[in-house]
A = this chain, B = another copy of it.
Amino acid sequence: MTTPLANGVHCVMATPFLPDEALDLASLATLIDYLVAAGCDGILILGVLGEADKLSDAERETMVRESIRLSAGRLQVSVGITHGATAVARERALAAQAAGAAAVMVSPPPGSAAGPALRQHFVRIAEGLEIPFIVQDHPTSSGVRMPVEFIAGLAPDLPANSCVKAEEPPTAPKIAKIRELAPSCQILGGLGGVSLLSELDAGSHGTMTGFALPDVLVGIVKAHQAGDRAQAKRLFEAALPLMVFEAQPGAGVALRKEILRRKGAIAHATVRQPAPLPDPVSLGILDDLLASASVRVTA
């Protein structure tokens, strides 16, 4: 009944802001065009990189509505709906579904723990949904560790074609184990792509992450899926220095927005305060990394 997410690249999307920190809908349009042109299969809005914890509910609704409208069927739009209350997350899930979202993504609420209460939280949110449900397994942001057995045990009670965004390192062995215990489950990697090659080797169906050069992610995943691992590896290794740099804790969002700005995808690199701004040293490194990554990827 549910339509599965494409096996491929779902870009975790930044939320563009004007210099005064208001939503920048003009940049939202150019950003989505940029992601379409890069060959992405879908986007995930209102995730960590999307500064979801810095938006009001009204802004969330605007982002959902406008992202779907501007994608115009060219991208599957998944929506982060994490919230501390089951009832509110469920309301968000239903609203996203009604607006035309391709899937909803939920991370464990802060202070929860893998166990019956968290299971109940996920299952109640997902009840009767007609779009896939993505369980985000990212202990760095949620503070919650979910064993493979817990995650695999959720599958029977989630909608068909549900998915795991596997982001507890080391990711490759965890992905292999989930594939074994819950073979019907779709698995996407994340973490900025720094382990993308080994995740694909371990059986992931693609990635859902925010690396600012999404065409590179698309190239890696397509090559791997076409059986050309050598090419996937070549592209991955060329991108890795930038991936690692971008994925450094405490730097990510502002740096990624700066890259998007330089690529013309958005007009301003504004992040909502309070948040660290990129320093001159990091911006200098970025110049160097972008030059290298571009040369080699396009070679």
User: What is A's interface to B at a CB cutoff of 8 Å?
Assistant: 21, 51, 53-58, 83-88, 91, 109-110, 112-113, 115, 117-118, 120-121, 124, 145, 147, 168-173, 176, 194-195, 197-198, 201-202, 236-237, 240-241, 244-245, 248-251, 272-274, 276, 279-282, 285
Contacts and interface: CB of A to CB of B under 8 A. Distances in A.
Number of this chain's copies in the complex: 4
B245 A21 contact: no
Given A53-B85, A172-B285, 16 more contacts: A57-B57, A87-B273, A112-B274, A113-B145, A121-B273, A121-B274, A169-B250, A170-B250, A170-B251, A173-B279, A173-B280, A173-B282, A195-B248, A198-B245, A198-B285, A240-B244
A85 B273 CA distance: 6
A91 B23 CA distance: 14
Contact of A273 (B124, B169, B244): B124
A117 B55 CA distance: 19
Nearest to A296: B237
A285 to B, nearest CB: 5
A140 to B, nearest CB: 9
Contacts of A120: 273-274
Contacts of A240: 237, 240-241, 244
A245 B58 CA distance: 39
Nearest to A203: B281
